[in-house]
Amino acid sequence: MKYTITVPASTANLGSGFDTFGMALALHDVVEVEVTGSGLAVEVIDAGAGDMSGVPTDESHLVVRALRRACRYLDISVPGIVLRCHNAIPHSRGLGSSAAAVVAGVAAGYALAGKDIDGSALQLAAEFEGHADNAAASLLGGFVVAWQSGSTYHAERLVPHSAIRPVVAIPEVRSATEQTRGLLPDRVPHRDAAFAASRSALAVHAVTARPDLLFAATEDRLHQDYREPAYPASVRLMRALRSRGVAAVISGAGPTVLALTTTGILPDGVDVAGFEVIELPVDLVGVRLCVS
Ligand SMILES: Nc1ncnc2c1ncn2[C@@H]1O[C@H](COP(=O)(O)OP(=O)(O)OP(=O)(O)O)[C@@H](O)[C@H]1O
Ligand SMILES: N[C@@H](CCO)C(=O)O
């Protein structure tokens, strides 16, 4: 039996919802899993993601680690595994590749156990990253609001307004989430926290019902400026777009720039040299499984 898991990319933060907002995007990794008599074989295939030479093919592979974790949680043992990963989501660009890999592994564990995905899958997936924004989006699809109570992760899925057409500008350069989180301060001024509260509350309304409010709703003071030294060209592009009235933000931990448009294109005259610009519709479904 072959289990095929299709998992969407995601964009996190959306400007004002640091570690809270996520949105699934229609760019998918596909992971095929087969159970064998013994051992582990991992094949990593570039399906558009670019150079995959740094990705391990042993027990340290992220999909394998998440699959093993889910199997332990679900109390099943698997004698051997063949895994074929068709990677389309570029790594370390702020498009949630690591969360997608973890969600694929967890979903594979549930598939092997013959169980439907439930709330515990989010917990297992989010524990890998320490925040649930990307994982919840890849798991549930649509627009998610994620939060943490103690060590428990939660998320609510909302449906984005149908007029929203996300466009991403993906640079060649990479940046590791772990490093760019290190650029964030331990404390922020109270006025910036209040600013963030207003904009993130507004963003829930803007994304679901009032796209005309997206520009104000995506303003951020908690993370993007602090991370500018890691990817100055991306922040420059984001600001150039915002100066034209486009609701542009840094996608996740960067360096991709996300523009929440209603046109599916970026305005003429903005210099996008060094970036691949593509429209990525919202994925409303989240992770899916096919058994053959
Ligand atoms: N499909 C995958 N298979 C195996 N490992 C992966 C996969 N995707 C990501 N990884 C691992 O995760 C790393 C990237 O994680 P990182 O959190 O820095 O970036 P990201 O998830 O692409 O971006 P962000 O979290 O900002 O959206 C890769 O270098 C690789 O080690
Ligand atoms: N909210 C996370 C997303 C990236 O994993 C961050 O900005 O660091």
Binding site annotation covers 245? no
In angstroms, how far is CA 10 from the centroid of its own chain?
A: 3
The number of beta carbons lying within 10 Å of the beta carbon of residue 255 is 27
Is the minimum distance from the CB of 98 to ligand 1 under 6 angstroms?
yes
CATH topology for the 2-158+282-291 domain: Ribosomal Protein S5; domain 2 (3.30.230)
As a whole number of angstroms, the distance between CA 27 and CA 245 comes to: 26
Pocket test for ligand 1, best of 92, 106, 168 (most atoms within 8 A of CB): 92
Which residue lies with its CA nearest to atom 5 of ligand 1? 62
Domain residue spans in the chain? Answer: 2-158+282-291, 165-279
DSSP 47: S
Q: Is 256 in the pocket of ligand 1 (CB under 6 A)?
A: no
The reply, when asked if residue 15 is annotated as ligand binding, is no
**DSSP codes, 107-126:** HHHHHHHT----HHHHHHHH
199 lines ligand 2 (CB under 6 A): no
The three-class DSSP label of residue 74 is: helix
Which of 205, 169, 162, 245 lies closest to 16 in space, CA to CA?
205
Residue 15 burial (10 A CB sphere; 0-12, 13-18, 19+): buried
Q: What are the backbone dihedrals phi and psi of residue 182, each rounded to the nearest 5 degrees, phi first?
A: -70, -15
Torsion of CA 28, 34, 35, 38, to 10 degrees: -100
Written as tens digits, the pLDDT of the chain (292 aa) is 999 999 999 999 999 999 999 999 999 999 999 999 999 999 999 999 998 989 999 999 999 999 999 999 999 999 999 999 999 999 999 999 999 999 999 999 999 999 999 999 999 999 999 999 999 999 999 999 999 999 999 999 999 999 999 999 999 999 999 999 999 999 999 999 999 999 999 999 999 999 999 999 999 999 999 999 999 999 999 999 999 999 999 999 999 999 999 999 999 999 999 999 999 999 999 999 999 9
- The secondary structure element, H or E, covering residue 81 is strand 80-87
Handedness of CA 275, 280, 283, 284 (dihedral sign): positive
Between CA 288 and CA 5 the distance in angstroms is 6
Specify the pLDDT at position 277.
98
Q: What's the complex ipTM? A: 0.96
Q: Round to whole Å and give the CA distance between 157 and 140.
A: 7
pLDDT of 203: 99
Query: What is the per-residue pLDDT for 51?
Result: 87
Radius of gyration of the chain (CA): 19
Q: For 165-279, which CATH class?
A: alpha beta
Residues paired with 35 in a beta bridge: 81
Which one of 91, 129, 177 would you pick to mutate in the ligand 2 pocket, going by the greatest count of ligand atoms within 8 A of its CB?
177
Residue 241 identity: L
